[in-house]
């Protein structure tokens, strides 16, 4: 069995999509359709930068989706491959769930682009710039990351009291990589405590908001309103969702999961284990080289392929 998977924020870079667009009219059509949906040339920003503008959450999210879907469309239209015939499941990391659902036919491309633009704006607006932060803890599992986050909050509260701080696991990526999110002061304390509590390394991430924690409650409300109005079709294949690491295909369940994932943890490690338990033996990542290594660190025997370049697409089409 096979799963097609789609990366999340952090996989963007200036120049993304250029090679795919040069090689495939189908890919160019994706970028044009996204530009028209957003009323601006996101494809030019992706191709030419500037990098700091591409890094903005409201740009990065639809850009990553567009790049992934363009890669998939090249496979489908130029390689003659149908997702429903070659994939048993889809999954995505955070915003990658929207890419996965677009790939599986639950959202059309313009709707996906507009939802991700709104999602990025809502996430940025939920917490004033400078108040939140995220950090990667390397060489620890989720239990150890929970302990580090708790110790950070406890130490600050013991020193100064005041309102409770948020410092929680945001992404359980694989057995050796966990991301925490919350108030900046608590995240910085966690980074300072991490090494003495068993982490190999801890580093603040260059993000503009504390994603996937309770501080995103206003963004979740905005997405709930938007998704109530969105036309969601049943996916061609089930989606393994972030918040529960279970396969879902019912439209109401998809809507609930997409709202919950704004404040909820991305359970990617558990998702990979659940896919393996369901019989998945091969994972194909479209538009990035982020998820495949996490898959291999979680289930070493699972085949994991990253499809980024036209040559990658052509090789996959021959193999499927």
Mean per-residue pLDDT over the chain, rounded: 95
pLDDT above 70: percentage of residues in the chain: 100
- Identify the CA nearest to 69 among candidates 123, 105, 36: 105
155 flagged as catalytic? no
Domains and CATH numbers, the chain: 2-126+214-319 (3.40.366.10), 132-204 (3.30.70.250)
Check: CB of residue 311 under 8 Å from CB of residue 23. no
Which of the residues 43, 94, 181, 208 is marked catalytic? Answer: 94
Please tell me the least confidently modeled range out of 118-127, 155-164, 189-198.
155-164
Residue 217 and residue 208: Cα distance in Å, rounded? 16
Burial class (CB in 10 A: 0-12, 13-18, 19+), 81: middle
* Residue range 45-100, pLDDT digits in tens: 999 999 989 988 899 999 999 999 999 999 999 999 999 999 999 999 999 999 99
**Cα torsion 38, 43, 45, 46: sign:** positive
Quote the pTM value: 0.95
Instruction: Assess whether pLDDT exceeds 90 at residue 211.
Output: yes
212 flagged as catalytic? yes
Instruction: Assess whether pLDDT exceeds 90 at residue 12.
Output: no
pLDDT given at position 80 = 92
Helix (H, G, I), strand (E, B) or coil at 279: coil
Please tell me the least confidently modeled range out of 10-19, 41-50, 146-155, 283-292.
10-19
- Identify the CA nearest to 178 among candidates 241, 269, 96: 269
Does the N-terminal peptide bond of residue 50 adopt cis geometry, omega within 30 degrees of 0?
yes
What order of strands is seen across the sheet that includes strand 177-183? Answer: 167-174, 177-183, 132-138, 201-204
Which of the residues 93, 99, 212, 306 is marked catalytic? Answer: 212
pLDDT given at position 247 = 97
């Amino acid at each position: 069995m096979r799963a097609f998977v789609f990366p999340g924020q952090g996989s963007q870079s200036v120049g993304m999509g250029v090679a795919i667009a040069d090689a495939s009219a189908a890919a160019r059509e994706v970028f044009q359709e996204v530009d028209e949906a957003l009323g601006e040339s996101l494809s030019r920003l992706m191709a030419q930068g500037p990098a700091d503008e591409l890094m903005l959450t409201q740009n990065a999210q639809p850009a990553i989706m567009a790049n992934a879907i363009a890669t998939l469309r090249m496979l489908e239209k130029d390689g003659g491959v149908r997702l429903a015939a070659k994939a048993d499941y889809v999954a995505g990391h955070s915003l990658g769930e929207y890419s996965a659902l677009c790939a599986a036919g639950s959202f059309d491309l313009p709707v996906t682009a507009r939802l991700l633009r709104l999602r990025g704006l809502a996430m940025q607006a939920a917490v004033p710039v400078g108040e939140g932060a995220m950090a990667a803890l390397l060489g620890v599992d989720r239990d150890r990351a929970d302990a580090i986050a708790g110790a950070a909050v406890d130490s600050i509260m013991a020193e100064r009291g005041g309102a409770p701080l948020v410092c929680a696991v945001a992404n359980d990526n694989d057995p050796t990589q966990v991301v925490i999110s919350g108030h900046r002061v608590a995240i910085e304390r966690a980074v300072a405590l991490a090494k003495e509590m068993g982490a190999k390394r801890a580093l603040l991430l260059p993000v503009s908001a504390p994603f996937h924690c309770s501080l995103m409650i206003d963004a979740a409300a905005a997405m709930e309103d938007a998704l109530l109005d969105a036309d969601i079709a049943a996916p061609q294949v089930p989606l393994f969702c972030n918040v529960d690491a279970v396969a879902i295909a019912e439209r109401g369940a998809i809507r609930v999961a997409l709202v919950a994932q704004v404040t909820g943890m991305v359970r990617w490690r558990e998702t990979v284990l659940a896919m393996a338990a369901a019989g998945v033996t091969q994972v194909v990542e479209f538009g990035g080289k982020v998820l495949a290594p996490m898959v291999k660190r979680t289930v070493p025997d699972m085949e994991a392929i990253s499809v980024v370049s036209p040559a990658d697409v052509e090789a996959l089409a021959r193999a499927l």
